[in-house]
Amino acid sequence: MLGNTTSVIVLIVIVVIYMLPALIAFARDHPRRAAITLLDILFGWTLIGWLLLFLWAALTETEAVEVR
């Protein structure tokens, strides 16, 4: 039983890491988040593709939202 639970937890962690650039893009309200998500699905399995998408999502300037 522990083997199945561990497998599911490991699979969830792998999917979250794989989709991390898309998650960051949505969290930061990135203007190109749809493109980042699509490219992450297609090229995230390559280390270079994943790293470039991660940097794009994390380092691009986004508009500051004022809270009143």
60: left (phi over 0), alpha (psi -120 to 50) or beta: beta
Q: What is d(CA 51, CA 43) in angstroms, rounded to the nearest whole number?
A: 10
Number of domains in the chain: 1
Q: Is residue 42 included in any domain, yes or no?
A: yes
User: Which residues form the domain of 15?
Assistant: 2-59
Report the predicted TM-score, pTM, of the whole model to 2 decimal places: 0.82
pLDDT in tens, 2-60: 688 899 999 999 999 999 999 999 999 999 999 999 999 999 999 999 999 999 999 98
Q: Is residue 43 included in any domain, yes or no?
A: yes
Q: Write down the pLDDT at residue 60.
A: 85
Q: Is residue 29 included in any domain, yes or no?
A: yes
